[in-house]
Structures are given as C-alpha cells and as structure tokens.
C-alpha cells in the first residue's frame, strides 16, 4: 500500500475507511515542491484518508486539508473618485 502524504504539513496518511463512490479518481498535485500521486481507484470505491499525527480527515472528493495560500489576497482597489 502506498502512503499518501498530508498536503498541509507533510504528515503521513493512512487508510481510514472505504466508502462506495461511483467515480474514477486520478489526481496528481505538486505542493511545496513535492509531488504526490493518488492512485486511480475503481469506480466503486474511493478511499478516505486520515492523518496519523494530526488526525485530520481528508476526503478525496472534498480536499479539506489543503494548505492555505502563503500570501493573503490583495486588498480591494480604492473606489474611484
């Protein structure tokens, strides 16, 4: 079994639970100069992961553990006079 890496702070993911989900998922992302690949699962099963150290759950369908952008959004432009 391949270990997935917690995108936020480099923690390791482990399998938490298998949930039925009719989708074929194949994702590859590069975060913090590291490349992680989520394997292509069959159409009936998609895995939900939980971080071993921080315990956060990361659902492959809804990435809730993505790192926030290092730079804040730019302030709105001043109103034109």
39-74 residue pLDDT tens? 444 433 445 555 556 656 555 554 444 444 444 445
**Domain count along the chain:** 1
Can you give the residue range of the structural domain that contains 10? 4-59
Residue 17 domain flag: yes
Number of Cβ within 10 Å of residue 13's Cβ equals 23
pTM for the full predicted model = 0.19
Give dist(CA 79, CA 32) in Å, integer. 36
In this predicted model, what pLDDT tens digit does every residue of 21-43 receive, in sequence order? 333 333 444 333 333 444 444 43
Residue 64 domain flag: no
In this predicted model, what pLDDT tens digit does every residue of 3-19 receive, in sequence order? 444 544 454 545 444 44
Residue 78 domain flag: no
């Amino acid at each position: 079994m391949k270990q997935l890496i917690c995108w936020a702070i480099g923690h390791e993911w482990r399998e938490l639970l298998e949930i039925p989900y009719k989708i074929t998922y194949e994702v590859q992302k590069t975060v913090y100069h590291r490349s992680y690949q989520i394997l292509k699962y069959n159409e009936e099963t998609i895995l939900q992961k939980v971080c071993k150290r921080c315990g956060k759950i990361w659902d492959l369908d809804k990435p809730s553990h993505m790192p926030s952008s290092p730079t804040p959004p730019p302030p709105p432009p001043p109103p034109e006079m």
